[in-house]
A and B are shown apart, each in its own frame.
Chain A
Amino acid sequence: MSDTPITGAPTTGTASTGRLGVRKTYKLFIGGAFPRSESGRSYPVRGKGGDLLAYAAKASRKDLRDAVKAARGAFAGWAGATAYNRGQVLYRVAEMMEGRAAEFAAEVANAEGLKPARADAVVSAAIDRWVWYAGWSDKVAQVAGAANPVAGPYFNFSVPEPTGVVATLAPPDSSLLGLISVLAPVIVTGNTAVVIASEQRPLPSVVLAEVLATSDVPGGVVNILTGNTAELAPIAAGHMDVNAIDLTGAPAADKAALERAAAGNLKRVLAHHDGEQWTEPPTLRRLLATLEIKTVWHPAGI
C-alpha cells in the first residue's frame, strides 16, 4: 500500500456521523461476474493530484482470453435478440445510469480532476449518448440496409449484421463519456465487446460494469478489463476469435504493430479520428464500423 492518503470512492462514510465507510473493491467484469484478476495482480489508481483513489485489478492474458470466450458465448443470443429487445435492454441501462449519476460524477471528478458541475455535465452527456445509441437498435438497418434494384427477376436486399466479438481499447482520457462513446455503438447492433478500460482512469468503467450487471444485459455481452493497455492490446489484436478491434485507446507508438497483428485474421480495425471530440454529437462511423452487410437474392417468378 502507498502512504498517500486514500480519498476513496464517493460512498465513503461521512465524518459527521462518525461512521466508517465501506469501500468498494474494483474488479474485472467477465461473463456477467466480477472476478479479481486470475493473476492476483492489482495496481494503484491515482487522481490528478497524485493521490491514491483505489487499487484496480490488473487483468492478465488469461483474463482477456476468458473475456473473449464469454463474449463469443454471448454473441449468438445477443445478435439473435430482436432489435426491439436490444433497444429496450440498452435503454434500461440508461435508466440505471441515471440512478447512479452521483456516483458516476464523483468517480469522473476524481478520475479526470473535474469540478463537480463539469463532472455532472459529463455524466449527463454520457447518459444521453447512451440513449442516442440505444435508439439505433431498430433503425440502423433502415439507414444502412437497402433494397437493391438488380437488373433481373430477383428480389435483392442488403441488411447489416454484427461482425461478432469486438475488442475495444477505450480512450485514455475520457473515462466515462469516451468509454460509452466507443462501447455503445458496438453492442447496440448485436456485437459483443471486450473493453480494455483507460489504464490511468479505470474506475468509472467499473461502475459502468455494475450498472450493466444490474440491467438486463446478458452476461458476456460486455466484458470490461482494467489493467495495462500496452500489455493487453497485442493479445487482443492477435486473438484469433476476435472479429474487430477499436484502437482508439492504443498508445500511438503501438498502433502500427497492433494493426499488423490484427491482420492475422483480418480483424476490422477502427481507429480514433483526429477530429473526434467526445463532447460533439457522434457520426454514424462507429456504428457502421462493426457491421457486416449481408445481401440476399431470391428469384421472383410464378
Chain B
Amino acid sequence: MGSGKSGKKQAGAAVVDTGAVDTVSAGWEYAPAPESRDIVTIAPEYGLFINGEFRPPAAGGTFATINPATGESLATVAEAGPADVAAAVSAARAAYENVWGPMPGSERAKYLYRIARVLQERSREFAVLESLDNGKPIRESRDVDIPLAAAHFFYYAGWADKLDHAGFGPAPRPLGVAAQVIPWNFPLLMAAWKLAPALAAGNTCVLKPAETTPLTALLLADVCQQVGLPPGVVSVLTGAGDTGAALVTHPDVDKIAFTGSTEVGKQIAASAAGTPKKLTLELGGKAANIVFDDAPVEQAIEGIVNGIFFNQGHVCCAGSRLLVQESVADAVVDRLKRRLATLRLGDPLDKNTDVGAINSRQQLDKITELTAAGEAEGAERWSPPCRLPEAGFWFPPTVFTGVSQSHRIAREEIFGPVLSVLTFRTPDEAVAKANNTPYGLSAGIWTDKGSRILWMAQRMRAGVVWANTYNRFDPASPFGGYKESGYGREGGRHGLAAYLDV
C-alpha cells in the first residue's frame, strides 16, 4: 500500500483510485513473508462439541466457513438446533451438579492452568487458524489474540483457588450453567474472556462462536479434550443467530454472557427480562480518541492508527471518532495521512501485513453503506492509494474529515477501518463531544499534561480510558461499557463478579 509495491504479491489486484495523496516516498520493497499454514490441519467437516465429544447435529444442518481473504471454503461446520442446545445445556447442568461445582477450586485451577499452557504451546497453530478464518493479520493473531487468550486463562486459573479473597465475601457461589455468545472479531480471545472467569468461578459453559469464525473455538474444544477437562464443563455449539437465540432463551440457563452488537444485546436483555437469568453484555462503541495540542505527535499518530486500524477496525472499543484540537487539526491529519500511506494491506498470513481482510460480505456491505452515507452527508473522504485483492472482502483504510456530530459516520458504529475526524477548541467541548453518544465503552486522551489526563478521565462516560496509548488489553484489567455499550466487566477481579452469585 502507499508505495504500490505490495501489489506485486497480489498479481492482478485491482487498483482502487482513492484520489490524490502526497505519498511520502517510493517506500520499501517488501518480499512476501507468508507464515506457513502447514502447522494447522483443518478437518473437512466439524461436529458439535457436546459433553466432551464431537457429534453430528441432531437435525443435520451444516454451513461453510470461509477464508475472507480469498473466499475459499475452509470447512463445513455443524449448525446446532434446539435439540443440540438442549443436549449441551443438559450436559453442562450435569457437569455443574456432579463434577465442576463440587470440585475444589485448587483442582479447577489446575485445569485452567493446563489450558493456558496448551494455548501457549500450540499458539502458532491457533494464530494461523485464526488468521485464516477471520482475515486478521498474522502479526496480530500471533502477538495479540493468542498470547492474551492464554494469559487470560492463566490469570483466572489463579483466581479459582482464591475466590474467598476476591472481595465478594467468604465462599462465593457460582451461578450454574452459563450461555456464552461471542463475536467474530477476536474469536479465540473472546472465548477465553468468557470461559476463563466462568470456569474459575465454578460455572459450566455452553459457548456459541460466531458463524463466520467457528474454527478456533472448535480447536479450543480439542484442547479441552487434550487437558482432560471433564465432559460437559465446556460445550461448543456452532451456528448463527438462531442457535444463539435458542441457547440464551433455554430455561435451564442461569447466566447469559453476550458480546456483540447493541441491537442484539437489547433483544437478549428483553428476552431475559422476568427470568432469574443473570446477564452481562459487552456491546458496541463509538469511542472518541481525543488529541490535545500538546500531545506528543508521533505517539498520538501511532495511537490513532492503532486505535482504528487495528484488526481492520473490527473492534468494539475502536477509536472511531478522532477529536483533535482545532489548532493542531491540520497538522495531525496531514501526518496521519502520511502514516496511513505506509500501511500494508493484503494477505493476512504475510508477516508484514498491517491491514487484513474484512471478515464477511455482510460486514463489507455495512461499511460500504455507512461510508457512502458519510460522503452523501457532506464529509470529505480520503484513502491512501491502495491495491485491493480481487478475491475476498477488502476495504481500504479510510479517513473522513469535515465530520459533524450529526453525521451517521459520527454516530453509528461502522466496525471497519474508517475514521471520522472532528475538532474541538476547549477541554469542555472535547468532553461534551466525546460523551455525545449512546455508547460508552472506551475513550482515548492524548496530552502531555497529567492533570488534564485525569480531569478528562473523570469526565468520560466510558468504561475504559486510555491515556497516551490505545487498545491495550490485559487479563488483570477490567473491560466493559457504560450506557448502551452494555453492562458487566470482563477481566480483572471485577470480571469474577459476572460469574458469581453476588
Given A143-B167, A300-B451, A302-B452, CB of A132 within 8 Å of CB of B427: no
- Asked whether B424 is an interface residue with its Cβ less than 8 Å from the other chain, the reply is no
Closest to B428 in A: A302
Residues of chain B from 477 to 495 with CB closer than 8 A to chain A in the complex? 492-493
Given A135-B157, A135-B162, A136-B162, CB of A143 within 8 Å of CB of B493: yes
Q: B113: which A residues are within 8 A, CB to CB? A: 91, 131
Residues of chain B from 132 to 152 with CB closer than 8 A to chain A in the complex? 151
Q: A120: which B residues are within 8 A, CB to CB? A: none
1/0 per position for A49-93, CB-CB distance to B under 8 A? 000000000000000000000000000000000011001100100
- Asked whether A14 is an interface residue with its Cβ less than 8 Å from the other chain, the reply is no
Task: Decide: B109 and A83 in contact? CB cutoff 8 A.
Answer: no
Task: Decide: B455 and A139 in contact? CB cutoff 8 A.
Answer: no
Interface residues on B, range: 20 to 34
1/0 per position for B339-361, CB-CB distance to A under 8 A? 00000000000000000000000
- Asked whether B106 is an interface residue with its Cβ less than 8 Å from the other chain, the reply is yes
In the bound complex, how far is the Cα of B457 from the Cα of A134, in angstroms?
33
Residues of chain A from 264 to 302 with CB closer than 8 A to chain B in the complex? 284, 298-302
Task: Decide: A131 and B106 in contact? CB cutoff 8 A.
Answer: yes
- Asked whether B158 is an interface residue with its Cβ less than 8 Å from the other chain, the reply is yes
1/0 per position for A88-114, CB-CB distance to B under 8 A? 100100000000000000000000000
> How many pairs of residues, A versus B, come closer than 8 Å at their CB atoms?
72
Closest to B160 in A: A135
Task: Decide: B493 and A131 in contact? CB cutoff 8 A.
Answer: no
Task: Decide: B161 and A132 in contact? CB cutoff 8 A.
Answer: yes
Q: B106: which A residues are within 8 A, CB to CB? A: 128, 131-132
Given A132-B162, A143-B167, CB of A300 within 8 Å of CB of B454: yes
- Asked whether A2 is an interface residue with its Cβ less than 8 Å from the other chain, the reply is no
Task: Decide: A301 and B452 in contact? CB cutoff 8 A.
Answer: yes
- Asked whether B450 is an interface residue with its Cβ less than 8 Å from the other chain, the reply is yes
Q: A91: which B residues are within 8 A, CB to CB? A: 113, 154
Chain A residues at the B interface, C-beta cutoff of 8 Å: 83-84, 87-88, 91, 128, 131-132, 134-139, 142-143, 153, 155, 284, 298-302
15 A-B contacts (beta carbon < 8 Å): A84-B474, A87-B154, A87-B158, A88-B154, A91-B154, A131-B161, A132-B161, A134-B158, A139-B158, A139-B476, A142-B476, A142-B492, A143-B166, A300-B455, A300-B458
Chain B residues at the A interface, C-beta cutoff of 8 Å: 106, 109-110, 113, 151, 154-155, 157-159, 161-162, 165-167, 427, 450-452, 454-455, 457-458, 474-476, 492-493
